[in-house]
Structure 1
């Protein structure tokens, strides 16, 4: 299990994930923060980057905030 600190920037022109100096991530999303669309896009983008299923990613805190704690479950092998 991995915990990530993520700062989300919705309504960006392009999607991107940048690692910050403190170990957190800055994620730019195209979706607006309405009806959970930005959170869904965040999960999709992180799943693609870390090569895991979307179901293995959970937003632990900050569901309605720009600063979030994300939990990534490691697949059992």
Structure 2
């Protein structure tokens, strides 16, 4: 299992992400140390980047936005998301999506 995500006994996944807001388009950008880098087209203003991140991850996993929660990093580039209802295999494909 990769360092940037972990699966708890109850099936919840924790994702460690490095976010680059204000990019040309929203996309996965490979690994950045022990985190998965995601470029977001949304600006880092008034929580817009956080909303875009949650929507992007939920869409990529085919989940409702309510299944993805921002656990930490509200104002930081380094964020931790909690995902409910996704498989570790589906999340692992993110790193190959570049």
Q: TM-score, normalised by structure 1?
A: 0.87
Tell me the equivalent position of 1:45: 56
* More helix, by proportion: 2
Alignment partner of 1:6 out of 17, 32, 35: 17
Large movers: runs of 4+ above 6 Å: none
Greater relative contact order (CA < 8 Å, ≥ 6 in sequence)? 1
Question: Is residue 36 of structure 1 aligned with residue 47 of structure 2?
Answer: yes
Q: 2:66 aligns with which of 29, 43, 55?
A: 55
Gaps of 5+ in 1: none
Q: Give unpaired runs (5+ residues) of structure 2.
A: 1-11, 87-98
Q: TM-score, normalised by structure 2?
A: 0.70
Q: Distance in 1 between matches of 2:81 and 2:31?
A: 15
